[in-house]
Amino acid sequence: MEDSLTAIERINTVLEGEIPDRVPSICLGSDYKFIDLFMKSPYAITEEDLDHFSKDNLNPRFLNTQHLLAKFSPTEIYQNGLNGKIDLCWDVIESVQLRKGEDPDSLITHSGQIYKFIIGDDGIPSYWYMGPSLKTKEKIEAFWEYEDYQKPDKSRFRIESKNRKRLKKYDIVVAPGINGPFERCVLGIGYMNFAKFARKDPQFLQKHIDFLWENNQKKSLELLLKTKPEIVMIASDIGHNDGLQLPLRQWQKFFKPILKEYVEMVHDAGIKFLLHCCGAIEELFPDFVEIGIDGVDSLQPTINNLELYRKKFPEITLLGTIDDSHLLINGKPKDVRKDIKHKIQTLGKKGRYIPGPTNWLLDQKPENIVALFRGIQEFGSYS
């Protein structure tokens, strides 16, 4: 049966607290490892698929590999699709060209994070955060002298806008976004520096956070909103497996005010605001409600009480929630189907639920991912 709503209509209906034609789905995107696994599976993208997607100018960029997303289409949209419709995906924009680091194979972001591209023994590339480059107060102060390097590149936002329009034919909504204030600060200066400055020199720390906001993050968000996205999702991984990465009072003091500005700017543009936030983050939900976040993504079920969130914070749409660290790696398709059916019945029976893997696809079994998105189609009807 064909859907009665488009993906964006369905998603916005859910985010507004209403009941759509069916439960929508989310897949953030995929790393190279999953692409390799997928291409070795019975579901692999074929030469015929590649020819078709090439004619539609789909983009194979890292983490937002449009060929993979389109391959899951229902056959009404693409005849060779897998009938596992993806409604929403994510595309994070790095607004400034990366610089070469001190090590020959390292790269540094505009906020001071060191990354490396690594080729594994299996020939599969990966991209990893290696640590902060702004390790001393003197380096941070010197960093402030280079405001021009913080200036966002407008062309990157124009390119992203064109890329997301390419998926309209497949009725897939791309939620573009940038990284939030917590990651930009802490991953650039390091956790030890953050903890030290928060205790001993909070004014210095606040100056650095404000510098990043005023010179890059705010301007980047303004450029993004000018491209008229349908949804915005900001990245801010504040949690880990046992709780928050910093005391709640420090998050409320240093980062909550700026995140509130993110939300207000997006809402002022008439757009819904989603936050991708990994870890055990129950402590943050009252603040999320207060500043008006529409939906929170990731929500690893092994470390978050999802039914409590659903009951205690009905204003917030829950996204993700399907265990990508055990179930989708070690489970069987029947286990995945059982899990998604249960979650739709419990978390989604009153709406405000968009299920999908809790993070980028990496080493999950392709058959489990296919079972997940087919299961959402099968069990996600409200009728």
Residue among 175, 182, 198 nearest 239 (CA): 182
Under the banding of pLDDT at 50, 70 and 90, the label for residue 349 is confident
- pLDDT mean over 244-248: 97
What percent of the chain has a predicted confidence (pLDDT) above 90?
92
Q: Where are the domains positioned within the chain?
A: 7-98+134-379
Q: Which two tokens stand for residue 13?
A: 């209906």
Which CB contacts under 8 angstroms, 24+ apart, belong to 334-337? 334/371, 336/368, 336/371, 336/372, 336/375, 337/371, 337/375, 337/378, 337/379
Best CA proximity match to 322, nearest among 5, 19, 27: 27
Question: Domain 7-98+134-379: which CATH class?
Answer: alpha beta
Helix/strand/coil for 92: strand
Q: What is the pLDDT of residue 383?
A: 57
| Percent of the chain residues past pLDDT 70, beyond the cut | 99
Tell whether the model's pLDDT for residue 15 goes beyond 90: yes
Band of residue 226 on the pLDDT scale cut at 50, 70, 90: very high
The pLDDT score that the predictor gives to residue 2 is 63
Residues 354-358 have a mean pLDDT of 98
Element (H, E) at 113: strand 113-119
Q: Output the pLDDT for position 379.
A: 96
- For residues 358 and 320, is the Cβ–Cβ distance under 8 A? yes
Report CA-CA distances (Å) from 83 to 34, 218, 329: 19, 39, 21
Segment 190-219, tens digit of pLDDT: 999 999 999 999 999 999 999 999 999 999
Residues 154-171 have pLDDT tens digits of 999 999 999 999 999 999
Average pLDDT score, the chain = 96
What integer pLDDT is reported at residue 117 of this predicted model? 87
pLDDT band at 29; cut points 50, 70, 90: very high
pLDDT-based confidence at 105, cuts 50/70/90? confident
Confidence category of residue 89, pLDDT binned at 50, 70, 90: very high
Pairwise CA distance, residues 316 & 17, whole Å: 9
Query: What pLDDT, on the 0 to 100 scale, is given for residue 261?
Result: 98
Residue 159's H or E segment, with its range, is: helix 154-165
200 class by beta-carbon count within 10 Å (0-12 exposed, 13-18 middle, 19+ buried) = exposed
